[in-house]
Structure 1
Amino acid sequence: MPARIHRTAIVGTGAIANAHASAVRAAGERARLVAVVDLDLGRARAFAAEHGVPRKYPNLTEQLAHEDVDLVHLCTPPGQHAPLAIECLDAGVTVLVEKPPARSLAEMDELVAAERRSSAQVATVFQHRFGAAAVRLRALTEAGQLGRPLLATCATLWYRDDDYFAVPWRGSWDSEGGGPTMGHGIHQFDLLLSVLGPWREVRALAARQARAVSTEDVSMALVTFACGAVATVVNSVLSPRETSSLRFDYEHATVEVEHLYGYTDEDWTVTPARGHEDALARWPHGKPSSPSSHESQVVAVLDALDRGDPPPVTSADARNTMEFIAALYASAFTGQPVQCGEITPESPFYQRMDGTGAPWAVVAR
C-alpha cells in the first residue's frame, strides 16, 4: 500500500482533462480522482461516468467547500488558469495547472504571490520535461559530458484550420494571452530552456499570415543563452506537415528529437562528432524508458508531494518560460532585442503579452 493516497479533483472537462484522468488512473493506489468540476453539469456528469468519478460540482468554490482534496488539476481555458489556481492556493490546496499558467507576467506574479502566502504550491504542466530522454539530456548537459552546448533549433510546426479557431476563446489576446507562442510552441521551447538554462536575449518577429484571429499565427526568435549557446525558435499553426523538433549541437555530439505531441526514446538520435564516438555510450539504447506524457509528470508530482517538496514544474520554472514569451512578443512588436529581466511592471508587455499592440491590429486611417 502507498504511504499516502492523494485525493484529486479535475476542473474543466475539455479534451485535455482525459489525459489528466488517465494519468491519475495510471498512478494506481497513489491517487484517487474523487471530484470533477465543470460549469456545464451535463458535461461533468458525462466525464464522471466515463472515468468513474463519484462527485460532480458546477464550480471550484463549491468543490473546495465540500470536498477535501490534496491536488487539483486545472484543465480550463487559459483565461481561467491564474484566478482558479489562486483560489486553490488560498484554500491551501496544491494545484497542477495546464499551460500557460497565466496570460501575462502580471498574472504570473499574482500567482507567485498567492503561492508565497499559501501552505500549498502550484505546478505547471510541461510534460515534455519528464520523458526519460529529456531527463538524461539535462543530466549529460549539466555534467558537461557532451561538451559545451553551441547551437540549438526548436520548431513547433503544427496545423490548425479556421474551424479550430471558431471556438470563442481561441485566437484572442484576452482569453488565451497569445497565439502559437503561448498555446502550442510553449511545450517545445520550455524543454529547450530546461536543457540550456538561463536565456539572455531574444530577437523576434511575429505575424498573422492566414488565420482570422487577433493573435499571431506564426512567430520566430533568435535566442542567446548565458551558457553561450545560441538558438532559433519557430512556432506555427500554419504547417500542413506537422512536426515538433529539437536539435542540440554540442562540441562532442548532436542530439535530436522529432515527434508530434509526445516522444519516446525511439524518437531521439545521437550523432557523435569525429573522435567522440564515446558519446553514444552515454545514451543507452534498447532499454524501456518513460515517454513524455502527463503520466510521467503526475508521477513526478506525487513523488514530490510524498517527500514534502514543491512539485515540478515550479512557479519559478514557469515564470522563466513566461518571461521568455513576453520578451519574444516585446521584441517582435517593437523591433528591438529584449534582455532577460527587461520586462518590468512598467513595461506594457508586463500587463499584456500584446503590450503596445500587434502591428496588424492598427487600423489604417
Structure 2
Amino acid sequence: MFQSIRDTLPQSRILRGLLAVIVVSLLLAPFIFDGSRALDTAARLCIFIVLVASYDLLLGYTGVVSFAHTLFFGIGAYSVAIAFDHVAPGFGVLLVAVVVALGVSTVVAVTIGLVSLRVKAIFYAMITLAVASVATVLVSQLYLYTGGEDGMTYRIPRVLTPAFKLLDDKVLGVRINGKLLNYYLIFTVSTVLFLLMVRIVASPFGKVLKALRENDFRAEAIGYTTVYYRTAATVISACMATLAGVLMAIWLRYTGPDSVLSLNIMIDILLMVVIGGMGSLYGAIIGATLLVLARNYLNEAMGVAHNAFIDVPILAELFNPERWLLWLGVLFVVMVYFFPLGIVGRLVRGRADHG
C-alpha cells in the first residue's frame, strides 16, 4: 500500500517540498503557532483538504461536475450534531451517528448517480444543484431537529474539550488538554482518509476512472460500464465528504446551514480544486492551504499594508482591509491566468518540459 502511495507522489522537487512544509506545519501546528486562532485554522485546513480531495476524486478523475458535495458534508455534520444534542455526547453515540451518516450518504449518492449520471454533464450539474437547494430548505424547515437557520450548539465528549487536562504541566509551552487531543484526532483521521483516497486513485479502479475522464466512449467500447463506475466514484466521494463533515462537527461544536451547507462553501471547494490542480489529489493540499490562509489572514495582511501606505492616500485606500474580498478575487484570476492547469499541473508540466 505505502509503495503505491509513494509512486503517486509528484516528481517535482518544488512540489514535494511545498507538500512537506504544509504537512509538517500541520503536524506541529500547536507547538509552532501561538493562539487558538492558528490552531482553529490548522484544524479547518485538515478538514478542507479531505473535503476538497474527495471532490477532486469526482471532478478531476471522472469529469463529473456536482454542486451537491456540501450536501454530504452536511449529512455528516448534522448526524453528529443531532446525535450529541438529542442523545448524549459519547463515543458510542458518535460511532452510531457516523454509521448512519455514511448509510444515508451512500443511499443519496447511489440515487443521484443512477438517476442523473445518464444525462449530459450540464443537466447533472443542475440536478445536483437542485438537490443541494432542497437539502438547505429541509434543514430550515425541520428546525425542531436541526435548529433551523440558527443551527445547533452541542456538547462533545469531555476528553475532547479544553476542560480535560491530560497533563498538569505545559509541554514546550503548550497545554496538553482535550482541545489538543481533538486537534490531533482531526489531523490523524484526515491523514488516513487522504492516504486512502490516494490509494484508491492508484488502484486499477482509479485507472478506470481516468480512462472514463479521458474518453468515456472508448472505455465503454472495451467493456467498462460508465454509469456504474461513476456512481461508485460518487459514493466514495460522498462518504469521504461525510466523514469530513463529522470532523467539522466535532471540532466546531456547532452545526448550521452557513457552516456546512452554504453555496459559498461549494464555491470555495471549486476554487481550491482549480487553484491546486484537477486530477491530482495533492493539488487539494495546495489549493486548500492557499484559500484557507487567504480567507483567515488576507484581511490582516491588508491592514498592515494599509498602515504602511497611510501617507499615500491612493495606495492606502487600495489596501483598505474592507476590500479583502476584491483582492481575493484578483488572486484567483491571477492564479487561473498563470496556472491554468493548477499549481500542481504547472509544476509537473514545467518539470516535464525541462526533463
Tell me: higher relative CO, structure 1 or 2? Use CA pairs within 8 A at least 6 residues apart: 2
Per residue, is there more helix in 1 or in 2?
2
**Shorter-chain-normalised TM-score: which range?**
under 0.3
Normalised to the residue count of structure 1, the TM-score between the two structures is 0.25
Normalised to the residue count of structure 2, the TM-score between the two structures is 0.25
